Amino acid sequence: GDSVTQMEGPVTLSEEAFLTINCTYTATGYPSLFWYVQYPGEGLQLLLKATKADDKGSNKGFEATYRKETTSFHLEKGSVQVSDSAVYFCALSDPTGGFKTIFGAGTRLFVKA
Amino acid sequence: DTGVSQNPRHKITKRGQNVTFRCDPISEHNRLYWYRQTLGQGPEFLTYFQNEAQLEKSRLLSDRFSAERPKGSFSTLEIQRTEQGDSAMYLCASSTGGLNEKLFFGSGTQLSVL
């Protein structure tokens, strides 16, 4: 079945450092890909998405490119801030799976001032 | 848009008791999901509805779990004869459906089974 694999955390960075969180997926069809974020004490919310190969999703300085050849959707940010400290979840929605959204295990990010 | 509302926020119960959670989705959303999340893990799919129709139920769910969405609006998730392993955060999400759908999550119900 469909699945999402993320790099294990926690990831600890200093402010203004470069961030990469790896995500790879397995899907039967051609899924849409998402990154959701969960800030401390808050619910999950969509950060960005990409719906087809080579699409780049972006929001709040974060980017991720849909790479069909490597089945990856890595999250990047050029300069992290303390306020980016959160848990980040990679997810997919596959039309052959009834469009239900499947999540990875999450990667916790700590950013130090 | 009042967001997705879940009640109660917290539930403490004794093993063997039944519990019921409620989710009120965003009003124009026809798709509703239930997920379970344990500490350090991502949301685990339980079941989902398109309007009042239940489209799929996870094979991970035992027969003790049942969900309904009687009029295609709010939904309830019931767990019968609770076990300690049922302790988790139960999340509800809603969406308009489709390939590009964005899920809107509620704050969840934290269940503790003693």
Subunit contact B101:A105, Cβ cutoff 8 A: no
Collect all residues of chain B within an 8 Å Cβ-Cβ radius of residue A41.
Answer: none
pLDDT tens digits, B12-48: 999 999 999 999 999 989 999 999 999 888 999 999 9
**Averaged pLDDT score across all residues of chain B:** 92
Residue A109 to residue A87: CA distance in whole angstroms: 6
The span from the CA of B59 to the CA of B35, in Å, is: 13
User: Would you place residue A4 in the very low, low, confident or very high pLDDT band (cuts 50, 70, 90)?
Assistant: very high
Q: Pick the closest to residue A25 from A42, A3, A53 (CA basis).
A: A3
Does residue B91 carry a pLDDT above 80? yes
3-state secondary structure of A88: strand
In this complex, how many residue pairs, one in chain A and one in chain B, have their CB atoms less than 8 Å apart? 60
Report the C-alpha gap between A34 and A66 in whole angstroms.
10
* Residue of B95, B107, B103 whose CA lies nearest to B21: B107
Distances (CA, A) of B90 to A40, B41, B86: 17, 13, 10
Place of tokens 């239900």: A100
Nearest to A71 by CA among A53, A58, A88: A53
Output the six-digit token pair for B97: 């459906």
Instruction: Look over chain A and give the mean of its residue pLDDT values, rounded to a whole number.
Output: 93
Nearest CA in chain B to A42: B107
- One DSSP character per residue, A9-47 reads S-EEEETT--EEE-EEEE-SS--EEEEEEE-TTS--EEE
Predicted local distance difference test score (pLDDT) of residue B51: 92
Assign B100 a pLDDT band (cuts: 50, 70, 90): low
Closest C-alpha among B80, B82, B90, B100 to residue B23? B90
Contact (Cβ atoms closer than 8 angstroms) between residue A35 and residue A44 = no
Give the model's pLDDT for residue B105. 94
Q: Which of A2, A4, A44, A87 to mutate to test the interface with B (most CBs of B within 10 A)?
A: A44
What are the backbone dihedrals phi and psi of residue A97, each rounded to the nearest 5 degrees, phi first?
Answer: -100, 20
| DSSP class of A104 | -
Give tens-digit pLDDT for A48-71.
Answer: 999 999 999 999 999 999 999 999
Residue B46 in tokens: 């339980």
Residue A2 confidence (pLDDT): 87
Pairing of strands A11-14, A107-112: parallel
Query: Measured between alpha carbons, how far is B111 from B114 in angstroms, rounded to an integer?
Result: 10
Closest by CA to A90, choosing from A65, A61, A60, is A65
**Segment A20-47, tens digit of pLDDT:** 999 999 998 889 999 999 998 888 999 9
